[in-house]
Every structure is written in C-alpha cells, then in structure tokens.
Amino acid sequence: MSTRNFALAAGLGIGIAAALLNAQAQKNGEEIFASRCAGCHALDRDKEGPRLGGVYGRAAGSVEGFEYSKALKNSKLVWNNETLDQWLAGPDKLVPNNDMGFQVDNSQERQALILFLKQNSGK
C-alpha cells in the first residue's frame, strides 16, 4: 500500500478504509481472474473448467453436468478460504490426479482471487 493510501485510510477512518481496500482487492481479483482463469473458467457457464460463480461454499466436484476427475469428485472438499488457497497454490498437492494443470504461486494474487470468488458467490 502506498503512503498516499495510508494517509487516505487514516483520514477516512477504519470502516471506510477497509471498504476501499476490499474494493481494490476485489478489482485486483477480477483482473487476475480475467487474465489467468477466464481461458478455462467463467462465472456463469462451464467451459474447459466448471463455472466458478457460487464456488465459495460449494462442495468440490458438484456442478451438475460437468465432468470432473474422479479424484476431485471423491475429495469431500468444500471450497472456502483455506481450501481455495491450497488448491490455487498447488492443485496436485491438495488433490492428486485432478485435471487442473494451473496454479497461482503468489499468495496475494490467490487472496485477491478468493475474495473475488467469494463475493461472486454471494458470501
């Protein structure tokens, strides 16, 4: 965060500053989703990967009509902050033999993506 943003946060108060930071993280998450995820995923429809709108709080491998790997269907995971972070950091570490061949190494990018997915799940 820049010095200017810190000064702005101090002047606006904690609640407003938190809302601004949350909005910025949401925007960052949306940009990351568009540039790194949207080739295989959409929020509202299945593509090469399943739709991700509503993913937060959903059981892994549960979108009706999408063909998941047997490993993911049997994982018994529910997507939340922790499981999404682990999944995005290394899908094969969390669920060996799944079909996702992509990971997000940067933890700040993962957190921005998770916030974006959470907010697009109505959470």
Residue 112 pLDDT greater than 80, yes or no: yes
Report yes or no: 114 and 25 within 8 Å, Cβ to Cβ. Answer: no
The pLDDT assigned to 122 comes to: 83
With residues binned 3-state (H G I as helix, E B as strand, rest as coil), the percentages for the chain, rounded to 5, are: 50, 0, 45
The pLDDT assigned to 104 comes to: 96
Report yes or no: 123 and 56 within 8 Å, Cβ to Cβ. Answer: yes
The pLDDT assigned to 10 comes to: 56
Chain segment 35-61, per-residue pLDDT in tens: 999 999 999 999 999 999 999 999 999
Bigger pLDDT: 40 vs 19: 40
Chain segment 67-110, per-residue pLDDT in tens: 999 999 999 999 999 999 999 999 999 999 999 989 999 999 99
Domain borders along the chain are: 3-119
Bigger pLDDT: 33 vs 12: 33
Report yes or no: 41 and 50 within 8 Å, Cβ to Cβ. Answer: yes
Q: CA-CA distance, 83 to 5, in Å (whole number)? A: 31
Q: Which residues partner with 59 through β-bridges? A: 78
Domain with residues 3-119, CATH architecture: Orthogonal Bundle (1.10)
DSSP structure class, residue 56: T
